[in-house]
């Protein structure tokens, strides 16, 4: 493994540390995923406990890992931290070939104030990550204004284009109230963006990876699992790195595919019914199965379709026991069709 620290802005002490692993040869693949670590510290410092220890956890999972130490007071204020993030991501993308990265598989993990910065990256940055892991993130007005007045509140900037997010937090966090995480999750849900949430019974604030040697407060014994859980989730969202390369993602990038540029079995039935006749032809097995169920149970076909309208095509096809191979073929055929984005 090689380590390299790059000065992004000497005057403001902004650095990007790259931890780089080899590829090819015994590894059997030419590219790795990447994780950009953004420590917390109230925008007054970058916590060491949320920097290298976190990078090491993702390195172990096969990632190239980067730690961004961004502008903190008194060196400067918002939007400089976001500009630091943009500069770091642009550099990572620019040097992707040299650093053996797959540019479609660059994620970000942020803690507390760094979680705020990671959430802004996910919602409003030019260089959006493929996925964001948000650990006790600062989201709401009270905590954001306490750090630096005038910063954006990320939940207000969530759109259908926001990347999938993973959350880890403790219910008894007295520094960044759990309502921050819950409100961000609600905003994602309202826009149909995928997320996974792990809110632990106790653990307070600043637990980092949750390991005993790094914690200053008591945490529930399940809390350290958030790291391997996030890695598993990233594998679902971006594809898992295995010998020979990446697997295909098994989780759609949004809660439903209604906002994607092309159709898929992750679109809802109600949305798919508004699409072209060609799309409906591809979905003939699903419509036939719904009609058969309606007839068997003496339901109105239209009434049954309305009742299951918010279910995805995948859910309905699985419910009526269409074989997995057939669902995959239907999905591939739908991917060839443009999604007509109409008001739901």
Q: Please state, rounded to an integer, the average pLDDT across all residues of the chain.
A: 93
Residue 344: the pLDDT is: 43
Paired with 2 in beta bridges are 20
Residue 304: the pLDDT is: 94
- In the CATH scheme, what architecture does the domain 2-246 have? 3-Layer(aba) Sandwich (3.40)
| For the chain, domain boundaries | 2-246, 257-334
63-116 tens-digit pLDDT? 999 999 999 999 999 999 999 999 999 999 999 999 999 999 999 999 999 999
Torsion of CA 74, 78, 80, 84, to 10 degrees: 110
Q: Are 33 and 62 in contact (CB under 8 A)?
A: yes
Q: Is the pTM of this model over 0.75?
A: yes
Residue 138: the pLDDT is: 98
257-296 tens-digit pLDDT? 787 778 999 899 999 999 999 999 999 999 999 999 999 9
Residue 257: the pLDDT is: 79
Please give the distance of CA 288 from its chain centroid, rounded to a whole number: 36
Q: Say if residue 74 is preceded by a cis peptide, omega within 30 of 0.
A: yes
> Residue 343: pLDDT above 60?
no
Q: At what angle do helices 52-60 and 226-238 cross, to 10 degrees?
A: 60
> Residue 248: pLDDT above 50?
yes
203-223 tens-digit pLDDT? 999 999 999 998 888 999 999
* DSSP per-residue codes, 292-307: HHHHHTT--HHHHHHH
């Amino acid at each position: 493994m090689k380590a390299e620290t790059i000065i992004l802005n000497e005057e403001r002490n902004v650095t990007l540390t790259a931890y780089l692993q080899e590829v090819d040869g015994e590894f059997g693949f030419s590219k790795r995923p990447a994780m950009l670590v953004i420590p917390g510290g109230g925008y007054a410092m970058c916590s060491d406990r949320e920097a290298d220890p976190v990078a090491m956890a993702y390195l172990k999972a096969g990632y190239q890992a980067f730690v961004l130490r961004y502008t903190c007071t008194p060196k400067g204020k918002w939007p400089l931290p976001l500009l630091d993030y943009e500069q770091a991501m642009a550099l990572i993308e620019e040097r992707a070939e040299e650093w053996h990265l797959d540019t479609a598989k660059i994620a970000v993990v942020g803690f507390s104030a760094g979680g705020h910065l990671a959430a802004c990256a996910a919602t409003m940055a030019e260089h959006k990550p493929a996925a964001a892991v948000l650990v006790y993130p600062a989201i709401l007005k009270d905590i954001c204004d306490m750090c630096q007045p005038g910063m954006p509140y990320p939940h207000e900037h969530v759109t259908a284009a926001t990347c999938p997010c993973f959350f880890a937090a403790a219910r008894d966090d007295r520094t960044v109230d759990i309502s921050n995480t819950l409100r961000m999750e609600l905003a994602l849900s309202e826009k149909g963006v995928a997320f996974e949430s792990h809110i632990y019974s106790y653990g307070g604030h600043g637990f980092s990876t949750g390991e005993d040697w790094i914690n200053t407060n008591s945490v529930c014994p399940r809390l350290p699992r958030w790291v391997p859980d996030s890695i598993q989730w990233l594998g679902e969202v971006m594809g898992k790195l295995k010998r020979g390369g990446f697997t295909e993602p098994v989780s759609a990038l949004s809660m439903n595919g209604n906002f994607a540029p092309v159709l898929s079995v992750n679109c809802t039935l109600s949305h798919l019914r508004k699409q072209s006749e060609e799309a409906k032809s591809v979905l003939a097995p699903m419509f036939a199965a719904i009609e058969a169920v309606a007839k068997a149970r003496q339901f109105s076909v239209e009434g049954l379709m309305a009742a299951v309208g918010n279910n995805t095509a995948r859910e309905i096809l699985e419910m009526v026991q269409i074989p997995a191979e057939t669902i995959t073929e239907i999905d591939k055929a739908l991917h060839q069709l443009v999604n007509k984005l109409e008001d739901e």
